[in-house]
Amino acid sequence: GAGVSQSPSNKVTEKGKDVELRCDPISGHTALYWYRQSLGQGLEFLIYFQGNSAPDKSGLPSDRFSAERTGGSVSTLTIQRTQQEDSAVYLCASSPPGLAGTNTGELFFGEGSRLTVL
Amino acid sequence: AQRVTQPEKLLSVFKGAPVELKCNYSYSGSPELFWYVQYSRQRLQLLLRHISRESIKGFTADLNKGETSFHLKKPFAQEEDSAMYYCALSGQASGTYKYIFGTGTRLKVLA
């Protein structure tokens, strides 16, 4: 499978529990993005990585949200003490490198992780 | 502030009719604009980008900097065009690789 892989595809958890969502980007893709897709809200930017560093974390909704990327590959989005308003589909996307350190401008999306907080 | 606005949540047209999906943006600089599409039970994927100036599946989009718009157009809609369409903006030209998406427009092409 050459596409972006996300796990779990579905997660149901109780309010107050922590969850981890994983994203395995396409091999060789240097940029990795996390978005949240809620009904009627479109795609809400959360964070993006260039290699292992995160130049822009401005979209993380609160300090309960964190993300890391190791080895320039797999990324984990962690939500601590989940709340019902965290229920959404969390999408990951990766992008290949372009010339001179730029990005090519095309995002390749995973199928998403649907999180339901009861 | 960077913002992408798609004013229509749902657009229904008959097969063979022209379609225009509206997108307006707010960005202080030179943005790059994209249209992404999500067909039923498929992943979100790139449809077209303004710098390519190409037509994909009969769709075109022209960047109008004066009106800050990037509307998506197709002269004759097909049933297989039914999908969710998202307009997106990136500030790559200024070194910002964050992509901002609109709230999306669901296009339904009726037989």
Identify the CA nearest to A8 among candidates A25, A21, A26, A19. Answer: A21
Q: What is the CATH number of the domain that holds A28?
A: 2.60.40.10
Q: For testing the chain A interface, which of B24, B44, B89 should be mutated: the one with the most A CBs within 10 Å?
A: B44
Tens digit of each residue's pLDDT (9 = 90 or more) over B62-77: 889 899 999 999 999 9
In a domain? residue A88:
yes
Does the beta carbon of B97 lie under 8 angstroms from any beta carbon of chain A?
A: yes
Q: Which domain holds residue A20?
A: 5-98+108-117
Give A111→chain B minimum CA distance, Å.
6
Does the beta carbon of B5 lie under 8 angstroms from any beta carbon of chain A?
A: no
Number of domains observed in the structure of chain A: 1
Average pLDDT estimate for A94-107 = 72
Does the beta carbon of A66 lie under 8 angstroms from any beta carbon of chain B?
A: no
What fold characterizes domain B3-110? Immunoglobulin-like (2.60.40)
Higher-pLDDT residue of A78 and A101 is: A78
Average pLDDT estimate for A60-83 = 94
CB atoms under 10 Å from CB of B26, counted, come to 13
Residues A93, A103, B29: CA angle, nearest 5 degrees: 105
Give B51→chain A minimum CA distance, Å.
10
In a domain? residue A103:
no
Q: For testing the chain A interface, which of B5, B99, B105 should be mutated: the one with the most A CBs within 10 Å?
A: B99
Does the beta carbon of A56 lie under 8 angstroms from any beta carbon of chain B?
A: yes
Q: Which residues of A2-33 are buried (b: 16+ CB within 10 A; e: fewer)?
A: eebbbeeeebebeeeeebebebbbbeebbbbb
Q: Which stretch of A66-80, A81-95, B91-105 has the lowest confidence by average pLDDT?
A: B91-105
> Which of A69-73, A98-102, B78-82: highest mean pLDDT?
B78-82
In a domain? residue A51:
yes
pLDDT reported for residue A104: 60
In a domain? residue A72:
yes
Tens digit of each residue's pLDDT (9 = 90 or more) over B81-107: 999 999 999 876 556 678 899 999 999
Query: What are the boundaries of each domain within chain B?
Result: 3-110
- Which residues on chain B are in Cβ contact (under 8 Å) with A31? 97
Cβ A78 vs Cβ A18: under 8 Å: yes
Tens digit of each residue's pLDDT (9 = 90 or more) over A2-60: 799 999 999 999 999 999 999 999 998 888 999 999 877 789 999 999 888 888 888 99
Q: For testing the chain A interface, which of B92, B98, B105 should be mutated: the one with the most A CBs within 10 Å?
A: B98
pLDDT bin (cut points 50, 70, 90) of residue A99 is: low
Bridge pairing between strands A113-117 and A10-13: parallel
